Structure 1
Amino acid sequence: MYNVLIVDDEKIIRIGMRTIIDWEAYGFRVAEIVSDGEQALEIIENQEIDLVITDIKMPKMDGIQLVKALKEREFEGQIIMLTSYGEFDLTRECLRYGVHDYLLKGTLRSSELAQALEAVQPKLKKRVAKTQEVDQEGKQKEQELIKEIIPKVLKDTTFTPPVAAFGKSYQFLVIKHIKSKFEQERNMDRTLKDYGTAIQNIISEVLPKRGKPFLVFEGDWCLYSLPTSSEMSHQEVLKISLQIQNLIKLYTNIKVIGVIGRSIYTTHDLVDSIEKCMQVAGMAFYCGYQDVLKEEKVHGLKDYKFKDKSTYEKQLHSAMKKGSYAEAIHTLEAYIEKLREYYIPQKQVEQILNNILHRFILDYGIYLDKNKEHLENIIDKYRKSTLLEEYHALINELIYTICTYMEQVRDKHYRKEIVEIMDYVEEHIGEKITLASIASQVNMNESYISRLFKNETGMNIINYINIRKMEKAKELLSEKNMIVKDVAYALGFEEQSYFNRMFNKYFGVNPKEYKKCTNT
């Protein structure tokens, strides 16, 4: 459909020109009607006009001045003059400036106008074809520039691209491949580009009339050029973006999160949009991968220095030391909510939670010794997690397991003989405790004591003694003035090397490493 601008100072002519024929039946649309040349120039500067139909004599700027001005501006559309009898000399002058044809206003019929429109169409078609060719060439150059910029931005957000404006607006769907630590280790060299053919086919299926998708890949990222706002509404863009995200997950069996960027017009816009979309993609760690996110969510991110980290961790370890499940869970929940409130970056949160997990295993692995399979299962699930709620649930499970076993070890709600044995161990923790010395204390047979203790507590008596000694060893090692040798002797070990081996057996590190870890 070609856009027509009608210029005439007579109201009756303007009304008549609008209604004289069915413009759209001939492939034309009356875009604007104005009363003088100055208004016409303003319209042409701000709109795409293909055909100007103008009167010769008008106030302010007449038709001849308008035609000259359009020639100076290298107007690429066509012009038809409206003239009256006695204006033929003026009309001939206009024809020298490239006017296509002229029509007599006083006797103009619809058939004459229709013939004029049909006659001008071939020239308009050539112009459109030439414009499309130029546009296509410009589009290719733009896309080459975009393909050059995007990988550099994804690798280095400080990259500054050459300053350039695009001939059209772009809007990108930024897709991130979400990998757990387990997947990263197993697929070190596998990038999102390895799924490029599948992603291209999925987009072509969602939007079959769009042609080959414009995609750019770099590592765990992919950018797809979405339909612009002139082609599709915001809701439609959101809908197709969600379809693409879900179909990628369905057909490739990988986790992805999509972020819809804003409309961009320059290379500066492109870089800024990518950087913000990358930040927003990290928010999926908190809210999951079910919905497509939007670039404007970046305003919910806050620059926050997490000053309360040590306070929460001290409270958490204090609760664990007491074996208080309720207090530990409450503290962890408050800690997680603080992280969630400020959208602390995922890598920083993972480091915080990894340190908590490792410290729990280091400090309380002694209680998990009899059920190592359960601990290994928790760690395996943890390494395959990608969401904060998954990490949170698994640390909760670990806290519950540890506190349950701690309660079994420390619980004094047993029969009198068992409580007497436990009290004896606590009172003589700094001595070498043997089954014989316990039997002498409680006046029982050694084998009977072993069976009774195992039946009542579910734990071997020698293991219980070692656990209590190792728990005490941790307390002593946390004191700055205590060296490893002094701790070993304080707990009744005749040889430091034996103490070292036992400590390493229960905690996975030697006493010196543990002391260094807890005192940093």
Structure 2
Amino acid sequence: MSSYERPEDFPEQLPATIIGGHFDEDDTYRMRRPNGMSDWLIVYTLSGEGYFRTPTGEKLCGAGQIGLLRSGVPHEYGTAQGKRWNFVWAHFQKLTETDYLPPDEVLVHALPDGHLQNRVAHTFQNLLHDSRERSGFWYALCENSIREILLLIAQRLEKKLDARIEHTLRLLSLTMKEEVRIVDLAASVGLSPSRLSHLFKQETGESIVEHLNRMRLRQAALLMQHMGRSATEASLDVGFNNYNHFAELFHRTYGVRPRSYAKQSRD
């Protein structure tokens, strides 16, 4: 996201479309709409800090935070005093996914460092590209990008986990096929092994091993059902090196032996 546009290049009231941009502004930048606007605004702060002022008060939006301004809300937003505000934004019409979020006049949600921030920045990059290029299906592609960001926020708000446990869950999903050592996971998230084990159980309701096995079994079942993998192949695909252990856990979870499950799926 290296290209900047000037805010004055865009109209205050936008037509029923999707439009996005990338601003990098000093603290003289502000936008006032006493009567609100007909569409929604979503922003993601890359660096610096901005503010949103509505009838219910003021909220700041700093680096790694998403701001969502509802339609019809009188507002002012701009760069926080003494700061710069480097952010990407998009105007869009109301989507079903907004109903999953709190009815705040402006919602500001902080993303944890790492994967989620990178994912949202990349999604915005795709959105800006599609909205400018306007090739086939551009509008649907832009909507899907916005839907993805809204759903990520809704997912985090539904059950907000400790950022270190979120990081652990992502590491488990990425290394599912490999041998997983709790001491290595703990070092990656800056906790002791015992503290990580306790916090993981507290946040998710299951141990790290229980979660890993459940994830592996679910993936193995999908591979047998949809990809035609044999029980042995599926067990190796997801990281089980001991077939008997896999078969025992699978039977306990699904009530059927994995080879029978694979055969039923083929039939």
Mark yes or no: TM-score above 0.5: no
TM-score category of the 2 structures, normalised to the smaller one? 0.3 to 0.5
- TM-score of the superposition, structure 1-length normalised? 0.20
- TM-score of the superposition, structure 2-length normalised? 0.38
Larger radius of gyration: 1
- RCO greater where, 1 or 2, for CA within 8 Å and sep 6 or more? 2
Instruction: Point out the structure with the larger helix share.
Output: 1
